[in-house]
Structure 1
Amino acid sequence: MLRYLFGPGKREEHVRPRVVAAWDGAGPLSALQPPQLAGGWHDLRALTELLEQPVRAGFRPPAKPLWHTSIRTHPTDRILSDAQWAHIAGEIVAAIGLAPHGDPDAVRWVAVRHNDDHIHVVATLVRQDRRTVWPWQDKRKAQAACRDLEERFGLYRVARPGKGSRRWPSPAELNKAARLDAASSGARPGRRASRAGGRGAAPREVLRRRVREVAAIATDEADFFARLAHAGVRVKLRRSTRDPQQVTGYATGMDGHTTASGDTVFYGGGRLAPDLTLPQLRSRWTGTPPSTAGGNAARLAAMGNVPPDVARRAAETVRDAHEAMRAASSPAVASAIAYAAADLLTATAHAWEGRAGGPLSDAAEWFDRAAHDWHGRVPARRVSQAGQLRTMARLIAVMGAVSRDRDTLAALHLVFTLAALAESLADLREAQDRLHQARAARHAAGQLRQYQPPAGTAGARTPGMRAARPPVPDSPATDRRGQQR
């Protein structure tokens, strides 16, 4: 571990590695700093010996006595000093119980900094009184300490663990996606994965985007599964053990993403996002009563016919929903409207940019983070404005890309109206003390205000033209997005 931390790194990214903090009683940090040898290498023998002394003298030391973590600031944060990083490292090891403040017999540990934005903390699991320490819930405690340090130092504050609208890919999934992408593109191992064909993104992320795009415009369960099949997503249904005719869940997979034995890797809806489980989707389709104003539009969307001025009508719907959200007396009603607006923006981004994605798709991702409730809780659905927004989402999905100057102006009006709704959503999240979602909403609003719709897009359909249902998706080879954030 020390050889890696004081080495050049995998891509020569380690710059001036140095010890910035250590255990109580370690002495001056300059004495712990490994001397640099000819050729740039460091002599690590003395520091290694000091760290390993308690382990060798310990009573039944563990077979794996090393504990390691990295602590990183957000790219928008200021550069912290070595003294500030030392304080942060000390707070982390104290919070998890490895080296409590004022305990002279705690484990030995060091914090190594080799870049501006992060440090590594390395500790042994044997105390200096020869007893072994078994960290309990160290991840939870370390993250709780980080949330406190973010506020104390004025750093970028992130969500508490387990919050949000998605299940993030694991490091193993990201590494596998990078290996597959390198193999398909012929790149050397260790190089940054290419985005060509979408293989640079973890399959879980690709599936989550495709399932959410389909869920935003599907009218019922049968339509949802039919659209998934047309989108190139493999679907496996889970049926009740008591009633084989009853579907209780589903899982999705991608061609080419298999296990070592060749079986397709499937992800249940809940493993993509908490609100993409089948019960949550069913509440989406049945919880909102059809509105009188949107009844005709809903029938046209179901038939595949597009009325004129869809973007203008959608902008008016968003404006009315925005006013209703600001006047709502209950946060649940406001969240329901924002939740439906996220579906509208997702459908708009997919219709105008396709799977290749672009700035509108990125804005939809940020809006989605801000709109969805914690732990996949679905907000109140019996809100007429939410039903109208989803009706417009289906119409825009049928309309496809904008093709005329008048459509382009209407599309800009729609996007700017959604930007105003995103700002109000940010105010709501700030009032709820959900700052990470407030930032996501403001980021989405900024991207929406800078958006320019692709007027004259090749293959764009003229309003009024009948479209097949479900629509045939773009070629998967055009998928270039999905970089992990």
Structure 2
Amino acid sequence: MIAKITHGRSAARALAYDHGPGRADEHHHPRRVAGNVAGRDWQLRAHRMQRFVAAHQRDKSDRGVYRVALANPDTDRVLSDREWRSIAEKFVARFGADKGMWEATRHDRHHIHLTISKDRFDGSRMSTSQDYRRAAAICRELERDHGLTNAAERNGRGTGRVRGDAEAASRGLPQPDRDWLRSTIGRVLREGGGVEELRTAGVSVKLNQASTGRISGISYARTPDRHQSRDSGSPAEPLWFKGSTLGKAYSWNQVSDQLRGTAPQHGAPPAPPAVGTSSAAAQRVGGGERTEEPPLLERSLELKSLSVEQRRVRALEMARERAAERARTQERHRRQDRSRER
């Protein structure tokens, strides 16, 4: 486990980031796992924490918000929300950060974010002296408490991934997602497969798109098992890896031609829509029959051949679809949380 420490002025902005979609829609089912700020709604808690921070601010340059990201390697087992709560509470108590306002937010399988007010309820201020050394020592204790990989050994000897894989195997855990993705994607591509073959093999695919509509990259994830959430205590969410982080052979520049050429077609290939019209309205094939609008991924693969203006129109359509899908996913997660609380 590693601790990444930063300082800021706004607790509201920190919590808005934690509970938002992330910079590239990488946040999945953001939720509080621990903390002492009252309120069921994160916006209310953010407002209360920000008022507390502002009331104790010494001057405009005073950074009264302490941020800690606690992260495990992807070779470690997935911790439940209850385990992350225990880790967060132990960390803030041992660090001396539990005497003011604080909250722990989770939006990923392998890390949490702590947002802490440096000022305490009694008017004193939390000490940040030797904070990196103190945080590292606490992380070693938490690793021992929860049976996690020792990050100091992992980074110091340069064999962490091999050691982590061995430890995972010794605990009966499945092959780490990163290695499984390399193996599975490589096999599918060598066999001449494309998007459908990747999905059949259990690989989820999404494209990283610039505001102009240009595809700037590709990300892969191991499709979660529908029963995975029963053990973790939270909804199963995919862990996304950018293609370039898996290796050059998996980057968008290397796989784009093959995936574009093998993307599943819905009827005949659709013609580019006229500017100002929707792609659904513009899709007609021989005989004038309207075809079903292709899924988001397949339409994304066509963007490279469109003009700049057409890309912009198509990109706006897909952005709206992503927002709608994200809203549906969040609502589904809220219903699951309510059903578990009952």
Report the TM range for the smaller structure's normalisation: 0.3 to 0.5
Computing the radius of gyration over CA atoms, which structure comes out larger, 1 or 2?
1
* TM score, norm. by length of structure 2: 0.40
Structure with the largest fraction of strand: 2
